[in-house]
Chains A and B, each alone.
Chain A
Amino acid sequence: MPTFTPAHAEDVLSTVQWAAAEAAPLEIVGHGSKRGIGRPAQTEHTLDLSKLVGVTLYEPEELVLSAKAGTPLAEIEVLLAENNQQLAFEPMDYGPLLGQAPGRGTIGGVLATNSSGPRRLKAGAARDHILGIHAVSGRGEAFKSGGRVVKNVTGYDMSKLMANSWGTLAVATDVTFKVLPTAETETTLAVRGLLDDNAAAAMALALGSSAEVSSAAHLPYPAVTRVVDGGLGSDAATLLRVEGFGPSVAYRIGKLKDLLKNAGPLEEVAGAASQALWRAVRDCMPFADGSETPVWRVSMAPADGHHVVMALRMQAAVEAFYDWQGGLIWLAMASGDPEAGLVRTLVRQFGGGHATLVRAAPAHRTAVPVFQPQPPALAALSARLKAEFDPKGILNPGRMMQAGVSANVDAAKEGAST
């Protein structure tokens, strides 16, 4: 398994050109912190970007940062913190969930997986903050898109095309992100003891108020016992995060307390403890148990999520918790079977969305589609796009869809008229 570890964008270009000419598949990795997500790859060669490092531009007053794709996320977060700034979309650290050390991952990987965290609800994901890229397509062509300014509609937004492409369209060599000020302070209001449906209602009420809640999660038992060293106890916790300038946070927390005074017992978690709590939610700590128990990441309309969990509990041994006001559902399938058909059927039945099998043993990830299958017309469009950018199928072949299959088609919708 020869590994290429280029230190310059030109060497990435020549590597991909060589691979394209030889039709030699490449697995594209940064730190490999998310390598366990997707269909297991069997590529002869690896293109390792972890030596392609360095922040090339950082202008805090312009709210912009550029870095080479292999730059460690941790390094960028430290640099931003020194200037009271952050990546507002709060990229998740998959390390703990996937049985790896925390704190790894590259900025290129953040974009390729469209990473985000609890603040996704208010601030968006990586796709909403990427401003520009330099990349090498599967054809071995180096190109750029976007720029370094926050407002730009010049040509197609190809930078967004890199988000959630999992290295299958092009290899990013340089990325430019919008950065934002870190909030002066934060406080979390916890409503205790709510059942999932009541929690969904409480979160909808809070998000529909002018309290500017930036994150909303619900941790039922037993998930609630597995964050911040069991510090929350065992009663279900519905968490509402408020961030900003001190006087504003105090006022808005007061407003939320008034709004939810009859919902259940209320607790405040302030400052660093609040931050630690949201890091645990972000990194899916309730299921970070070092096992390969299948874990799903499901995105739905916020008010629909708990219906899926309720229905699923009738038919399978499942543990769940919610982020994004209930719209991001983390599911751990205790029996060891991913139950892919059941999960995806229920998601469709209760309003639609998508389900990704982010953790499972390789055998399961080979047997069932890890990423949400698409209706035929959309799957065909995605396959045409892949063929335009990587006609030889050399970039992470099979990772998002089975190699040799032209598209990730939803069998249940095959033949449905569109």
Chain B
Amino acid sequence: MTGLAMPKPDAATLGRRAKIVADLALVVPGEGVVDTVTEMRAFESDGLTAYRQLPLVVVLPETVAQVSRILKYCNEHNIRVVPRGSGTSLSGGALPLEDAVLLVMSRFNRILEIDFPNRTVVAQPGVTNLGITHAVDQEGFYYAPDPSSQIACSIGGNVAENSGGVHCLKYGLTTNNVLGIEMVLMDGDVVRLGGRHLDPEGYDLLGVMTGSEGLLGVVTEVTVRILKKPETARALLIGFPTSEQGGQCVADIIGAGIIPGGMEMMDRPAIHAAEDFVHAGYPLDCEALLIVELDGPGVEVDHLIGLVEKIAVDNGSTTCRISQSEQERLTFWAGRKAAFPAVGRISPDYYCMDGTIPRKELPRVLAGMRELSQQYGLRVANVFHAGDGNLHPLILYDANVEGELDKAEAFGADILRLCVRVGGVLTGEHGVGVEKRDLMPEMFNQVDLDQQMRVKCAFDPNHLLNPGKVFPQLRRCAELGRMHVHRGQVAFPDIPRF
């Protein structure tokens, strides 16, 4: 690990490893406990492969009762737990800890209920995102959030990360498409939040759980809303001489009251890398390439294509192609969808960032990135969920060159600082994890972070669930619980009546 400080392993836990493994084997019999180094290697990392760590032991429960007993046992014995779905996190959310049980939910892989009249699917958390869509596909339905890892990532992990995708400007993030969950708290209590109905009662704990990165509870069941597939989808491929013009085109489309199903932008290095890889026919003489996808009834799509084409031309587009067939639409997307592996071809390694900015700041942020690129001596390619301002700069580096990973990480951190400075945020959809943990103070002061940690204290007061993630510094809940105001010591003891 490159200088990433994780919580100090608990010597007592490490010393009791054999006993813990034996106890867990009683809870999850058969092959549900993995404790050999060779077998545990498969779990030492998630999608953020720069960091690796073998866990204390891996447990793969199959029932909610087992999850409850494991968490209760660990809570009572002061053992840390790291939950994991498919392990596709790009921020190290499922990075194991040396002294922590790795709780792998992949055996929870069944769809429990499909309800077309209510348009809901109840799935176990290990079902893949795409698995839900496949289960309802034959009836013409789908599950809207579509993170690019959807073939592998689990719906439980999507809840933990509040995953997005290219369609979320129109169809929302995971948090807008999940109706209910069942979860197990660190003390073993099983609670249900929401259900098949709209809006959970009481405090919106479902909203807080979604995107909590495995720090609050372990999801054991998910109820999602499914949608009828749009009748048609067509895309425009639009090239611009400058990123400013591309950005203005996006603003004008939204200003015209159009919310496209997807709206993606690529910069010159990304366009070239993608075109060299998949030969999608992208124009190579532009600085910004926009893919605008419109979906819905054919008559609506045709109407909007006309409007978008005019807006593109008015903004000085040099190319504007409209897909004439499903094949052509998929070709337009092929380059964008292959952008990451395409960049992987032109560089030994790349590091994917995930800031969000107010869209109007795009030219400023791209210019800032070019300066940083020169300063660090590393190339950067940009793909951008243009509709919602979510940037994915890909920093090109070579891990075999001494110090280059550190340089790439420093470059990435500077990009995120720039995002925050222009009114944006550290992460749009990949999560904080370990990757952006130490940057949290760029966005939040200590009081802000304390409030977040108080949520943690209500769910897991001993900080046993996924410690070392999200928060740059752990504060004891007892210390946080003290009131720091006292009678007669506040600023306005005799408060005026405003």
- Please report the C-alpha to C-alpha distance between residue A266 and residue B309 in the assembled complex, in whole angstroms: 37
User: In the bound complex, what is the Cα–Cα distance between A302 and B189 (angstroms)?
Assistant: 29
User: Which listed residue (B210, B296, B357) contacts A149, Cβ 8 A?
Assistant: B357
B-contact 0/1 string along A1-26, CB 8 Å cutoff: 01111110001001101101110000
State the Cβ distance, A311 to closest chain B Cβ, in Å: 17
A365 nearest CB across to chain B (Å) = 17
How far is A117 from B175 in the complex, measured between Cα atoms in Å? 19
- Inter-subunit contact A384/B458 (CB<8 Å): yes
- On whether the beta carbons of A247 and B303 are closer than 8 Å, the reply is yes
Does A127 count as interface, using CB distance less than 8 angstroms? yes
Which residue from A125, A248, A251 sits with its C-beta under 8 Å from B199? A125
A15 contacts B447, CB within 8 Å?
no
Partner among A2, A155, A182, A382 whose Cβ is within 8 Å of the Cβ of B202 = A382
Which residues 153-203 of B sit at the A interface, judged by CB distance below 8 A?
A: 161-162, 164, 168-169, 172-173, 175-176, 185, 189-193, 195-203
Chain B residues near A164 (CB, 8 Å)? 199-204
Q: A61-B254, A157-B208, A212-B296 are in contact. Are A17 and B191 (CB under 8 A)?
A: no
- The interface centre, meaning the residue of B168, B176, B431, B487 with most chain A CB atoms within 10 A of its CB, is B176
A152-B297 in contact (CB<8A): no
Stretch at the interface among B31-39, B314-322, B420-428: B420-428
Chain B residues with Cβ below 8 Å from A219 are none
Binary contact readout A366-393 vs B (1 if CB under 8 angstroms, 0 otherwise): 0000011011011011101111110110
Interface centre among B116, B228, B259, B304 (most CB of A within 10 A): B228
Residue numbers in B under 8 Å from A59 (CB-CB): 358, 360
In chain B, what residue has the closest Cβ to A383? B458
Are A385 and B455 in contact, CB atoms less than 8 angstroms apart? yes
**Least distance between B342 CB and chain A CB atoms (Å):** 23
Contact of B229 (CB < 8 Å), options: A163, A210, A301, A391: A210
Query: Given A155-B440, A181-B258, is A372 in contact with B119 using a C-beta cutoff of 8 Å?
Result: no
Complex: chain B residue closest to A374, CB-CB: B202
Cα–Cα distance between A142 and B448 once the two chains are bound (Å): 8
Number of interface residues of B (CB under 8 A): 107
Verify A184–B257 contact, CB threshold 8 A. Answer: yes
Tell me whether A151 and B429 are in contact (CB under 8 A): yes
Given contacts A145-B448, A381-B458, contact A354 B498 (CB under 8 A): no
Q: Are B470 and A155 in contact (CB under 8 A)?
A: yes
Question: Across the interface, which residues of B come within 8 angstroms of A63, CB to CB?
Answer: 254
Residue B63, interface by CB 8 Å = no
Contact A151 B356 (CB under 8 A): yes
Q: B211 touches which one: A144, A153, A201 (CB < 8 A)?
A: A153
A158-B452 in contact (CB<8A): yes
Residue numbers in A under 8 Å from B447 (CB-CB): 141-143
List A221-264 residues whose CB lies under 8 Å from chain B. 244-245, 247-248, 251-252, 255
Contact: A327 with B198, CB < 8 Å?
yes
Q: How far is the CA of A247 from the CA of B307 in the complex (A)?
A: 13
Is B152 located at the chain interface by the 8 A CB criterion?
no
**A388 and B458 in contact, given A245-B303, A301-B195 (Cβ under 8 angstroms):** yes
What is the 8 Å Cβ interface bit string for chain B, positions 207-240, against chain A (1 contact, 0 not)?
1101110000000000000001111000000000
Query: Given A63-B254, A248-B300, A301-B120 in contact, is the A125-B198 Cβ separation under 8 Å?
Result: yes
Q: Is B450 an interface residue (CB 8 A)?
A: yes
Alpha-carbon gap, A142 to B191, bound state (A) = 30
Q: Which of these, A21, A152, A209, contacts B228 with CB under 8 Å?
A: A209
Q: A396-415, CB under 8 A of B: which get 1 and which 0?
A: 00001000000010000000
Alpha-carbon distance A302/B425, docked complex (angstroms): 37
Q: Say whether A137 faces chain B, with CB atoms less than 8 Å apart.
A: yes
A140 at the interface (CB under 8 A from B): yes
Residues in A neighbouring B444, C-beta threshold 8 A: 144, 155
Q: How many angstroms between the C-alpha atoms of A260 and B258 in the bound complex?
A: 29
Q: Is the CB of B432 within 8 A of A155?
A: yes
The interface bits of chain B over 339-363 (1 if a CB of A lies within 8 angstroms of the residue's CB, else 0) are 0000000000000000011111000
Is the CB of A43 closer than 8 A to any CB of chain B?
no
Q: Are B358 and A62 in contact (CB under 8 A)?
A: yes
A157 to B211, CA, bound (A): 7
Taken together as a complex, chains A and B put the C-alpha atoms of A21 and B490 apart, in Å, by 7
Interface residues in A338-369 by Cβ distance below 8 A to B read 351-354, 356
B172 partner residues in chain A, CB cutoff 8 A: 124, 128
Is the CB–CB distance between B203 and A169 below 8 Å? Answer: yes
Which listed residue (A7, A139, A352) contacts B197, Cβ 8 A?
Answer: A352
**B314 CB to nearest chain A CB (Å):** 15
- Say whether B498 contacts A17, CB under 8 Å: no
User: Which chain A positions have C-beta within 8 A of B199?
Assistant: 114, 116, 120, 125, 127, 164, 299
- Report chain A residues within 8 Å CB of B492: 14, 17-18
Is A204 part of the contact surface with B, judged by Cβ < 8 Å? yes
Task: Please provide the chain A residues from 51 to 82 with a CB less than 8 Å away from any CB of chain B in the complex.
Answer: 51, 59-64
A66 shortest CB reach to chain B, Å: 11
* Contact in complex: A161, B455 (CB < 8 Å): yes
A193 to B492, CA, bound (A): 64
Residues of B contacting A207 with CB < 8 Å?
Answer: 119
Q: What's the minimum C-beta distance from A29 to chain B, rounded to whole angstroms?
A: 14
**CB-defined contacts of A378 to chain B, threshold 8 Å:** 191-193, 202, 205
A315 an interface residue at 8 Å Cβ cutoff? no
Cβ of A291 under 8 Å from chain B: no
Q: Are B493 and A18 in contact (CB under 8 A)?
A: yes
Contact B495 A392 (CB under 8 A): no
Segment 86-129 of A: residues with Cβ below 8 Å from B:
114, 116, 120-121, 124-125, 127-128
With an 8 A cutoff between CB atoms, is B118 at the interface? yes
Contacts of B432 in A (CB 8 A): 153-155
Task: Give the residue name and chain of the A residue nearest to B164 (CB).
Answer: A151
- With a cutoff of 8 Å between Cβ atoms, the chain A residues found around residue B390 in the complex are 151
Residues of chain B contacted by A39 (CB below 8 angstroms): none
B residues within 8 A CB of A150?
A: 169, 356, 388-389
Instruction: Say whether, besides A59-B360, A148-B358, A161-B204, A154 and B427 are in contact (CB < 8 Å).
Output: yes
Question: Is A303 a contact of B118 with CB atoms below 8 Å?
Answer: yes
A352 touches B162 (CB 8 A): no
**A149–B425 touching, CB < 8 Å:** yes
B424-442 contacts to A, CB under 8 A, are 424-432, 436, 440
Chain B residues positioned under 8 Å from A351 (CB to CB):
196
CA of A354 to CA of B141 in the docked complex: distance in angstroms? 27
A301 with B296, Cβ < 8 A, contacts A149-B357, A150-B388 known? no
Does A42 sit within 8 A of B, measured CB to CB?
no
Tell me, rounded to whole Å, the shortest Cβ–Cβ distance linking A131 to chain B.
10
Cβ-closest chain B residue relative to A355: B201
CA distance in complex: A318, B459 (Å): 40
Are A4 and B497 in contact, with the CB atoms below 8 A? Answer: yes
Chain B 397-432 interface 0/1 with A at a Cβ cutoff of 8 Å (1 = within): 000000000000000000000000001111111111
Q: Are B457 and A381 in contact (CB under 8 A)?
A: no
Q: Is B78 in contact with chain A by the CB < 8 A criterion?
A: no
Chain A stretch 151-186: residues in CB contact (< 8 A) with chain B: 151-158, 160-161, 163-165, 169, 180-182, 184
Q: Is A300 an interface residue (CB 8 A)?
A: yes
The B291-323 residues at the A interface (CB cut-off 8 A) are 296-297, 299-300, 303-304
What 6 A-B pairs are tightest by C-beta distance, nearest first?
A160-B207, A248-B300, A181-B257, A354-B201, A301-B196, A388-B454
Of the A-B pairs whose beta carbons lie under 8 Å apart in the complex, a sample of 20, sorted by A's number, is A14-B495, A15-B495, A121-B198, A142-B447, A145-B451, A147-B423, A149-B423, A151-B356, A153-B427, A158-B451, A165-B204, A204-B118, A356-B201, A371-B202, A374-B201, A378-B205, A381-B458, A387-B458, A391-B481, A418-B189
Given contacts A210-B297, A385-B203, 9 further A-B contacts (CB under 8 A): A62-B251, A120-B198, A139-B485, A151-B164, A155-B444, A160-B175, A248-B300, A302-B117, A418-B191
